[in-house]
Amino acid sequence: MSTSPVGLADGTFGIARLKDGTREFVAIVRPDGSVADASEYYRDSHELFADWDNAFPRLAKLSDSSAKTGEYPDYRPLPPLAHPNLMGAGQNFKTHSAQMLTKNAFNQHNRRPGETDEEFYARNLELMEERSRTGVPFFWTGLHSSLAGAQDDLLLPVIGKQPDWELELCVVMGQTRRFVTPEEADSTIAGYMVMNDIGTVDIFRRTDIHFNFDWISKHQPTFKVAGPFVVPKQFVDPSKVQIQLDLNGQRMQDWPASDMIFSPQQFVTYASERVNLMPGDHIFLGSAPGNGAHHNRFLQPGDVIDATLTGLGHQRNTCVAEDTGGREPMYPNFPIQ
């Protein structure tokens, strides 16, 4: 890997949606940080990914040219796509899932009498290995109104007291497809990017409804930090991606994406059998170990998150309290029995 100032490997490029004053435009960013405007080809990134088979060679040629609009630090990176469908994997890392099953109160009924944490964890880890061999992926759907850019402030809402991070590898689709086979799945992927999946974990649990969980706490404003780039899949080997997140300079997550239970291709196949996949759709593939619940440390105003995935760029977000304009929420807490 290179020592690129923008976190891209030599010989690659990233596709970004950048803002310069009031102007937004789609561009390619090179490893040296130079930017080339691609708006003469595409009005926006949704149009670009809808034309992915033609877009990739066109953008590769632009990247190899001498065209230069400016330098990456001159612009504000927006989420690479403005209004994609969002699909988030649940419990897709073996180690993280085994840790949660070992620690969380909801699973303690499966602990054997006298079983130590180490023994229970080893048994839960083997369950995740078995799930990888014979199980089925799981995902939940999200709202694009929760997207934020790689340098935007992260708003900590008044509802919920435990906002938590989960840094993830994200697939970006390049085709409209249904019923994709595992052999076809890779050809439908346009690229990969960084996604920080924020959620207020203390309000996940609902005991007043029989579903028991409320996933809306994952979709508050700025809770899906995306980008800064989509890197074409031709340049990315997901098995070699390292997931790293620092909170105020302290390393909290540092784990290989190869620990995933289900591969990106398996998720594309599973998703295509349940929804109509469209160009630009995001499928983020689950969190590595080391989120706030693991460290018993949740996000607070003033915290700074630095996050990076190998070859996909980095994010830097400052946590600030959301301004409600003086309004108090009518439903600040859910009944817990």
Contacts of 281 (CB under 8 A, 6+ apart): 84, 85, 86, 87, 172, 173
Q: Does residue 336 register a pLDDT over 60?
A: no
Residues 22, 159, single domain; the answer is no
Calculate what percentage of the chain has a pLDDT beyond 70: 97
Residues 212, 109: one domain?
Answer: yes
Q: Give yes or no: residues 249 and 100 share one domain.
A: yes
pTM, full prediction = 0.93
Question: Considering the domain boundaries, does residue 331 fall inside one?
Answer: no
Which of 79, 77, 22, 84 shows the shortest CA–CA distance to 50?
84
CA trace torsion 33, 39, 45, 46 (10° rounding) = -170
Q: Is the pLDDT of residue 172 over 50?
A: yes
- Residue 28 and residue 68 in contact, taking contact as beta carbons nearer than 8 Å: no
Q: Is the pLDDT of residue 107 over 80?
A: no
329 falls within a domain? no
CATH number at 316 reads 3.90.850.10
> How many other C-beta atoms are found inside a 10 Å radius of the C-beta of residue 154?
24
Residue 213 reports pLDDT greater than 80:
no
Same domain, 236 and 146: yes
Same domain (yes/no): 221, 244:
yes
Residues 171 and 242 in one domain: yes
* Number of domains forming the structure of the chain: 2
Would you say residue 99 lies in a domain?
yes
Whether 252 and 135 share a structural domain:
yes
Domain final position from 30, 57, 78: 78
**Whether residues 34 and 101 fall in one domain:** no
CA pair distance 290, 165, nearest whole angstrom: 9
Q: How confident is the model at residue 94 (pLDDT cuts 50, 70, 90)?
A: confident
Domain range for 312: 86-321
Mean pLDDT comparison of 93-102, 128-137, 252-261, highest-scoring range: 252-261
| Domain-embedded: residue 178 | yes
Query: In the chain, what percentage of residues exceed pLDDT 90?
Result: 74
Question: What is the residue whose two structure tokens read 């969002």?
Answer: 86
Q: Closest by alpha carbon to 87, among 175, 219, 234?
A: 219
Q: Quick check: 257 pLDDT over 50? A: yes
**Whole-number Å distance between alpha carbons of 238 and 283:** 14
23 and 115 belong to one structural domain:
no
pLDDT for position 337: 47
Q: Is the pLDDT of residue 101 over 80?
A: no
Same domain? For 210 and 147 the reply is yes
pLDDT mean over 183-211: 89
Task: Give yes or no: residues 195 and 295 share one domain.
Answer: yes
Residues 31 and 99 in one domain: no
Long-range contacts of 130-135 (CB under 8 A, 24+ apart): 131/261, 132/94, 132/261, 132/262, 135/261, 135/262
Instruction: Write down the residue that tokens 């690129």 correspond to.
Output: 4
Identify whether the C-beta of residue 35 lies closer than 8 Å to the C-beta of residue 70. Answer: yes
